[in-house]
Amino acid sequence: MKTLFNLVSVLFVALFISNTAFADIRLFELHRQKVLAKREQALLKKKTGITLRGLETTELKSYTFDQKLDHSDANDTRTFKQRYFINTELAKDVTTSPVLLYICGEAECNPNKSILSHAKELGASVVYVEHRYYGKSMPTTNLTAENLKYLSTAQALEDLKAIQIYLQKEKNFKGKWVVLGGSYAGSLAAYYRLKNPDLVVGALSSSGPVMAKENFEEYDLHVSKVVGEQCGAKMKQVVKEVEALFDSPEKLLEVKKKFRGEALTDNVDFMYLIADMGALAVQYGYKNRFCELLDSENPLQGYAKFTIEIFDSWGMTALDMSAAGALDPNVDSSDNMRQWFYQSCTEYGYWQNAYHDEKISVRSTLINADYHRNICIRLYGLDTSGNEKYVNETYYAPLLDAGRASNIFYTNGSTDPWLNLSIAPENKNDSNTATVTFTMEGAAHCDDLGNNSLSDVKKGRQMFVELAKKWLANSSFEN
């Protein structure tokens, strides 16, 4: 019989759909998208009687665009098929109505139906664009390091620009455009508005960690604060208990089996699985269930039980959650994990290292800069762990300048660890008077890109609509 947690977790997540969320929990998010694409309407209607307020739509037809492989080389004529979707059902006039450009991010593109409420209020068409190298928009036949060199933020932004210009001309979408995205795609939305103010009048960056950081130890710090002292102490107890078994392979294997983690032969990979499951509980709003299990029985047993519940609910395995699962460069074996690790190694870092103060940290100290650098070597032969300086000089710093960046709305959930890398009052970096920030109390990662019923989430969604109306009305933007 399904546990109450399984039912509640499915209903909870089904009430909100972000596009993606990267962390070392990225595979949870990717599986979540696939499951939700199938369950969303049917589950809500069956269990709660709720529908998406009359916004049910037919399945969208996918299109492909012959996208340039390398935008940086004018002489390179190679192209690949990039997938996109169009929904014009709520547009008042397809030719002149606004267009919401939704970036699908680092996962297969499953058109987000939740944002159709925005389209309805704005009378807008919606265009969903799948990111290169993710989903079915695969430029190369395999994912070797040599082939992945065309996977970058700069290339992705040029992709968006090329598709938008094409649709404006060939589909006659002459209205004003607003760009949206969540998590990594939220960062792309902010960057796209920054780089192309002549193409889009504004942007929604939902839970977008727009600042790159290789040593993202604040993630661990945030998890520690959210779970609280009592739950955090039990997390630390589990970490120490497992680490103490490193010299006893047979006993350690028995523990791995409790987590269905016996496929993880690298012990630090297993410690990362443990850390990820605790972080997942915080990032996606399962903290109460997680801490309840650690408190109600042996903490190790409770930790393992929570892990199995997540695996069972979302059809995942321990290998899915590990760098070990991203070793194979075969496209058919990829679930987008290998691609995102590449972007981590070459651009963003975002490595969730153990916090430097062991009294606070709730993850193994073996999860550190050396471990993550070794991941880049293991997977791609790259002795690097990101390019923080370049990303921040090129994309993040200009966002703080009102003379360079305007009409961007940054939303974040107060419980989301990725808040630390966004633009928000809590980070004391929201000084740009031409952009707007809002932290949704009690909300998790990308909650406003769905139908979460928290009052602050509803407020954030309505704030976006009002800002979009203002951008559309006041901008002198013309095609």
Percentage of the chain with pLDDT > 70?
86
Neighbour tally for 246: CB within 10 Å: 14
What pLDDT does 333 receive? 63
CB neighbour burial string for 77-87, b if at least 16 within 10 angstroms, e if fewer = eeebebbbbbb
Lateral strand order in the sheet of 99-103: 62-68, 79-87, 125-129, 99-103, 177-182, 202-206, 408-413, 436-440
pLDDT over 50 (residue 458): yes
Burial class (CB in 10 A: 0-12, 13-18, 19+), 2: exposed
pTM of the model: 0.88
Which residue in 156, 171, 177, 11 sits closest to 70, CA to CA?
156
What pLDDT does 48 receive? 42
Predicted confidence band at 476 (pLDDT cuts at 50, 70, 90)?
A: low
What pLDDT does 100 receive? 98
What pLDDT does 477 receive? 55
d(CA 352, CA 214): 8
Residue 120 near residue 90, CB atoms below 8 Å: yes
pLDDT over 70 (residue 342): yes
For 107-162, the pLDDT digits (tens) are 899 898 899 999 999 999 999 999 999 999 999 999 999 999 999 999 999 999 99
For 154-193, the pLDDT digits (tens) are 999 999 999 999 999 999 999 999 999 999 999 999 999 9
pLDDT over 50 (residue 14): no
Give me the phi and psi of 5, to 5 degrees please. Answer: -60, -45
What pLDDT does 17 receive? 32
Burial class (CB in 10 A: 0-12, 13-18, 19+), 180: buried
Which residue in 197, 335, 318, 224 sits closest to 264, CA to CA?
318
Helices assigned H by DSSP within 198-266: 218-243, 249-258
Residue 447 near residue 16, CB atoms below 8 Å: yes
Residue 109 near residue 61, CB atoms below 8 Å: no
Q: Of all helices (H) and strands (E), which one includes residue 313? A: helix 299-314
Residues written for the chain = 479
What pLDDT does 316 receive? 84
What pLDDT does 351 receive? 96
Which residue in 64, 63, 72, 115 sits closest to 90, CA to CA?
115
What pLDDT does 45 receive? 46
d(CA 40, CA 33): 10
What pLDDT does 294 receive? 97
What pLDDT does 284 receive? 83
Across the chain, mean pLDDT equals: 89
